[in-house]
Structure 1
Amino acid sequence: MDQTETKDLSRDHWADEWKQERQKLAIHEKTKGNLLYTNNQFDQAIESYSKGLQYDPTNAVLLSNRAQAYIKIEKYPESETDCTLSLSYDPLNVKSYLRRATARLNLGQLDAAEVDLKRVLLLEPNNKQAQDELNLIEKELLLQYPEDESLKPSTEDTQEQPPGDTVDISHTYGEHECRISEGEEADLHKLFNKCKKNPGHLDFIPIKQFKIDHLPADYRDQDLYNFIKVAADLTVRVSVNMVSPFRPQFFPNTHVQYPFYNKGGNASTRSGSGLISVYEYRDGLGCDARGSGYSQLTGDQLTTDYVSCPCEKCKQSGNASKVWWEIFVNTATHVVFDDIEASRTTCRLFFDDRDSPKVIIDKVTMDYVNIGNDNIRLKHVTCDTKLGPRLYDLVRRLFDLGNEVWNKFSQSTSDKVNFIVSHPHGCSKYVSIGRWVDNYKVEECDYNDKFDRTKFTYTTSTCPGSSGARIHCVGLGTGHVHNGAMHSKLNYSSVDLFRK
């Protein structure tokens, strides 16, 4: 054995010892936290669990235990977040499903709690707690949504409603637009050419051929053009090769069939689109593209329980990076449904044409999901000093250009211009430009009075593979993603926040 091999073995041995020592410290804090919890000292228990997570950030049991302690002091959003993170590391953790159901019940998210309890019963059919709570939820849902005409399947698309009215979104479901795998990567453009929805794809512009002259005459603005190009740089193809057995039969509170419900456990591949956002972290303190360390929507500080990068490479290292980036991909829930599907998801970045180099991120987890509104946020952590800063700078540019576009066009939205960048048929990026038709108010935002939750319809061209792509409405503050197409030829979005 030469000297180099000896050094490598020594380094590996030291890294293993370092990892084992941190795990021992985490177990010590968990035991201490459990004792404090038993003595009803919930705040102190949370402190101990949090210390344990500093030593072992991916410990699903520590996260689940802290979630239960949060429930005891009625911090339900924090509990839901911990349960979701716990399940991203251990998708079969029954206690985390039960605790998340409790948190969601107290947050008024009955449909999401119902899904969690049904997952428990799939894993443990005789779990009495889950069955009892599920019975209570189903009774409550019957009271809230009685079996009347408003919940029966509709054969017609959404009827136009006066602006500002609340819309019954159970009538705005059509055909999802995931691309179902029918061949290898090399066959995608053959499928593109055989498309029945948009023969010839006349309204789709390859991103590398997109020019300012493609914009409507009154919108040929350099800032808007640059905004579209940067939005395209941040658009990704989302590919999933697993169907969760926990997909519901129907969309919440409707009789509308949920996509791929009857294919649970299948390993068939499908794809959609998504848009990236990024936070940069230094020593556990986060910063968004605006340069702010606080969430724009909730005002919460961007902090973590750990002060070094939690990626797999750093976890195996004795010298974890103090700087890292959390990359978020926003897409539709019917594209990626839950923690199980997230664990089998990859995102291809910078896929601009057939010759684009393959830049793939995997090891993604579910950061946030809302089944009824049909949106999900995936998370990938990296300390890659090339990829992280590149994406962070792109998001910063998107934010700056978005402000310029807002200032120029927010008073002239009567043309209702919007655009979508997506990966139709799983191919490289295309831009489609069209107009939105209606913006239906679904409900008020419960934590920020500057926003409502709304749903858009639009004529902008989409195809299978466009599900999850961001809907950019020029001059409006929107975060909606594409959901599907209706028989009336209108497309429709997720339910998401709309700046009033």
Structure 2
Amino acid sequence: MQERNEVEFVLEGQDSSLISFKHCTKNPGHKDFVKFTDFKVENLPSDYQDVMIYKMIQYIGLITVKLNVSFTSNNRSNNDETAKFRGTTNIRLGSGFIMSVCKKEKSLGKKCPCKECLESNNPKEQWAEILVLTAKHVVFDTEEVKHTKCELFYDVVRQIEILYGLKVHKVIDKNDACIFLCAMHNLETWNKIKMLCDMRDNIHRKLADKYTSKGLKNQLAIIVSHPHGQPKMVSVGDVISFKRSLDGDVQYEYRASTCSGSSGAPVYVLSREWDLNFSEHVHSSSTLRNGINRSSFGPA
């Protein structure tokens, strides 16, 4: 069955992604998406209208990022969907999320190593480091990471914080996953992100205890993404099936809506085989015929 990745290519100026959003053919009107800032408990299916699930969606959403990648690596293979852009600075948009915060760097004669600071006459002397997870087809290698900006809090334009790509931390080819290191210049926001990650992990453990034993027939997939590079939106839908790899990782198929720009977004599955660590699944692809969407492989 033919499938495609869901990266948004910006080939005619930044406004083209907004035009793409308005004239989307996969999800006309985006009726199955809810703006993150408007999402309420009542938007969940009746079996899942739980304040704790709502809080989890809020924590996931607050650390979901829009990716702006302005270079395509020459190392991509010929069968890569992005191969025709190799070596160019054409922009593509995707989604991702913050896995964890790493450390703060303070001025000891060091300068922030991000691309913006290296090219600046006034580089930052204090910065923080953060790990972001997305799909490998969105960000392929360190050359692409260096040309990647992550927009955090892209719900209200005036609140946007920028994370600057530094280098690949880990690529998992078989899982279509790329974890990369970013620099953040606002140290106050670093503290907020650390708190949000801790709260997310705490809620996840509580949900694992609650929904493992509940045994609901339909598993639920929750996705927070930036469709067409627009402000983040939430979609929910049933999990249809899953596939297990030889090493035990799982890939989910679901009806939660996605669009171009959703590639790399966090996929949170309720009532599954629970791992006490936060899920590491991201949106990977969509089938062309029946609209079924697939996650990357990740820990069950």
- 1:465 and 2:267 aligned: no
> Which of residues 122, 125, 131 in structure 2 aligns to 1:328?
131
1:280–1:338 distance in 2 versus 1, CA, 3 Å: closer
CA shift, 1:187, in A, is 4.6
> After superposition, where does 1:60-459 map in structure 2 within 5 Å?
157=1, 174-249=3-78, 257-281=79-103, 311-312=112-113, 325-353=128-156, 355-382=157-184, 384-411=186-213, 412-444=215-247, 452-459=248-255
1:310–1:328 distance in 2 versus 1, CA, 3 Å: farther
SS of the residue corresponding to residue 228 of structure 1 reads: helix
CA shift, 1:337, in A, is 0.7
Structure 1 equivalent of residue 280 of structure 2:
479
Q: Following the alignment from structure 2 to structure 1, what is the Cα–Cα distance between the partners of residues 252 and 216? A: 14
Pairwise CA RMSD: 2.6
More strand by share: 2
1:280–1:366 distance in 2 versus 1, CA, 3 Å: closer
Q: Following the alignment from structure 1 to structure 2, what is the Cα–Cα distance between the partners of residues 390 and 458? A: 32
Q: Following the alignment from structure 2 to structure 1, what is the Cα–Cα distance between the partners of residues 32 and 110? A: 43
8 Å contact from structure 2 (residues 131, 180) kept in 1: yes
8 Å contact from structure 1 (residues 421, 432) kept in 2: yes
CA shift, 1:408, in A, is 1.6
Structure 2 equivalent of residue 105 of structure 1:
none
> Over alpha carbons, which structure has the higher Rg?
1
TM-score by structure 2 length? 0.87
> Which residue type is aligned with residue 134 of structure 2?
T
Q: How much identity, in percent, do the aligned residues show? A: 28
8 Å contact from structure 1 (residues 311, 382) kept in 2: no
SS of the residue corresponding to residue 399 of structure 1 reads: helix
1:382–1:263 distance in 2 versus 1, CA, 3 Å: closer
> After superposition, where does 1:35-50 map in structure 2 within 5 Å?
none
CA shift, 1:188, in A, is 3.2
SS of the residue corresponding to residue 386 of structure 1 reads: helix
TM-score by structure 1 length? 0.53
* Structure 1: unaligned runs, 5 residues or longer: 1-156, 158-172, 250-256, 284-306, 445-451
> Which residue type is aligned with residue 18 of structure 2?
H
1:184–1:403 distance in 2 versus 1, CA, 3 Å: same
Q: Following the alignment from structure 1 to structure 2, what is the Cα–Cα distance between the partners of residues 334 and 194? A: 24
Q: Following the alignment from structure 1 to structure 2, what is the Cα–Cα distance between the partners of residues 475 and 310? A: 46
More helix by share: 1
SS of the residue corresponding to residue 326 of structure 1 reads: strand
1:481–1:262 distance in 2 versus 1, CA, 3 Å: same
Q: Following the alignment from structure 1 to structure 2, what is the Cα–Cα distance between the partners of residues 413 and 258? A: 38
CA shift, 1:279, in A, is 3.0
1:337–1:282 distance in 2 versus 1, CA, 3 Å: closer
Aligned residues: 286
CA shift, 1:437, in A, is 1.2
CA shift, 1:406, in A, is 1.5
> Which residue type is aligned with residue 380 of structure 1?
C
8 Å contact from structure 1 (residues 350, 356) kept in 2: no
CA shift, 1:413, in A, is 4.2
1:454–1:202 distance in 2 versus 1, CA, 3 Å: same
Structure 2 equivalent of residue 133 of structure 1:
none
CA shift, 1:221, in A, is 0.9
